[in-house]
Amino acid sequence: MIQDSHTDFSLGEVRVSMTPQERFDEYLQSKGKRTTSQRRVLVDHVFSRHEHFDADELIDQLNRKARGADRVSRATVYRALDELVEAGLLRKMSLGSRSVYEHDYGYPQHDHLHCTECDELIEFRSDELLALREAVARGYGFRVTGHRLTISGVCRACAEKRHRKISPLDLI
């Protein structure tokens, strides 16, 4: 990412008191549900790395690693994703006809740039944007509890693919 020396769009850190697995166990217990081995495998996998993913990608990744009885069914994945969103562990975003998930628990407020060509999501945080949000809310007497901003456009790599170098033949 290219930035000038006065701008930092990094997300920073948020400290949490429980692991995602402990937090999910607590949520399930509050709903009278039990923690199954499939749910445990799913949570461990999702929180072992930070990436945006859809349900089909998660199913493929889980079943590539699993054998026989350890495989996670499509229905279990969809149900667990809904539970993880409801528990505040994941955030679900709609990008056109595709639903994408990302970490929410232990992750700071941030926004996204979405490339409509390659579907890449770029995360960023802007103090200026937060200040504008607060100023607008103050002007309306509005109490902010959060926001989501996704800016659609074309990333640098896709833009460069679109524009080829001028050939001497173009000048004829």
- Binding site residue list for Fe cation: 111, 147
Q: Is 110 left (phi over 0), alpha (psi -120 to 50) or beta?
A: beta
Start-to-end CA span in the chain (Å)? 37
Contact residues for 6 (Cβ-Cβ < 8 A; gap 6+) = none
Tokens representing 11? 């997300």
Which parts are annotated binding residues? Answer: 111, 115, 118, 147, 155, 158
Residue 152 sits at φ, ψ, to 5 deg, of -90, 145
Which parts are annotated binding residues for Zn(2+)? Answer: 115, 118, 155, 158
In 3D space, the residue among 147, 148, 144 whose CA is nearest the CA of residue 121 turns out to be 148
Strand partners, 151: 113
